[in-house]
Amino acid sequence: MIPEALRGARTVLLRMASPLDLLWRRARGGDRAKLPPLWLRRHTGPVSEFEGSAAGLIALLQELGLLPIPDGGTVLDAGCGAGAMAAALAGRLADGARYVGFDVHAPSIRWCRRHFAADPRLRFELAAVASPYGSSRGAPASGYRFPVEDGGATLVLAKSLFTHLTREDAAHYLREIRRALRPGSPAVVTAFLFDPSGPEMAGVRRAFPHEDSRSGGRVRYRSRRRPTAAVAYSRAELEDLIERAGLRVQWLRPGYYPGGEPITGQDTLLLGH
């Protein structure tokens, strides 16, 4: 993993390159000119995947019959980053629908609030919790309440969120998804899942070499120094957390499961009450 000093230097270089990136995007025209600056896109993962991962989730939501979002519907985007899903969903929200995104990264939330200010259906909230991706001075994530009322969301999205949560925080966030979801409504969650008894475990150990000792090997990290940089769960472990939260798995599309190398994507789970 990249040491913190190098990570900071990378951010500085990407900030310096952002004006050139903007000129290049404007020259190409189209929607690319509306993308967040380069350094914010890189904050959420590889720059090349910023648009493609959002488009892939939109395609899945359409396949599941969850789009468009009708009048009275509310999408809650947990870990919204720099608004990739907000941009992809804006044209698929009815006039009486709304989108609420939250993230721990203040610069991303500030950019989203400015960029989407003209659309009253879109709201962005800063999750003031302690996180290596935000501020170290916030409250524990295990006490964070999602910014919607009980049963206020007709669709919850958590794309590339549980890949950065410890077991304790994942358990709490699942309970919050349960609280936020309107009865009968779905949540779409992505994760890295593996099978501890499968022959692919040699690849899992290379990709996620560090074991959470409290989990009995059911939770693994890519970096010991920065555990939440990438987290993998055994399928049984995450399904147990989901059940304990009062949710159930309605559907699973394997991406990484049953584990191994190379990592080709995340697993996608459809959850409900």
Mean pLDDT of the chain: 90
Residue 1 has what pLDDT?
Answer: 45
Task: Give me the percent of the chain exceeding a pLDDT of 70.
Answer: 87
Q: What is the pLDDT of residues 13-65, one digit of tens each?
A: 656 666 666 565 566 665 655 788 888 887 777 877 888 899 999 999 999 99
Residue 133 has what pLDDT?
Answer: 73
Instruction: Tell me which residue of 174, 190, 173, 175 sits closest to 232, measured CA to CA.
Output: 190
Pick the residue with more confidence: 7 or 16? Answer: 16
Residue 42 has what pLDDT?
Answer: 78
Residue 189 has pLDDT above 50, yes or no: yes
Domains and CATH numbers, the chain: 48-272 (3.40.50.150)
Q: What is the pLDDT of residues 141-155, one digit of tens each?
A: 889 999 999 999 999
Per residue, what are the HEC states of 88-113? HHHHHECCCCEEEEEECCHHHHHHHH
Q: Which residue has the tokens 């358990």?
A: 171
Min mean pLDDT across 2-6, 163-167, 224-228, 257-261 is at 2-6
- Round to whole Å and give the CA distance between 69 and 36: 24
- Round to whole Å and give the CA distance between 220 and 222: 7
Q: What is the pLDDT of residues 85-120, one digit of tens each?
A: 999 999 999 999 999 999 999 999 999 999 999 999
- Cβ neighbours for 16, distance < 8 A, ≥ 6 positions apart: none
- Round to whole Å and give the CA distance between 257 and 212: 19
Instruction: Tell me which residue of 100, 10, 82, 13 sits closest to 44, measured CA to CA.
Output: 82
Min mean pLDDT across 40-49, 190-199, 235-244 is at 40-49
Q: What is the mean pLDDT of residues 177-193?
A: 98
- Cβ neighbours for 113, distance < 8 A, ≥ 6 positions apart: 124
Instruction: Tell me which residue of 94, 96, 76 sits closest to 85, measured CA to CA.
Output: 76
Model confidence, pTM? 0.90
Residue 6 has pLDDT above 80, yes or no: no
pLDDT tier at 260, thresholds 50, 70, 90: very high
Residue 2 has what pLDDT?
Answer: 52
Backbone dihedral angles phi then psi of residue 127, each to the nearest 5 degrees: -85, 105
Task: Give me the percent of the chain exceeding a pLDDT of 90.
Answer: 74
Residue 146 has what pLDDT?
Answer: 98
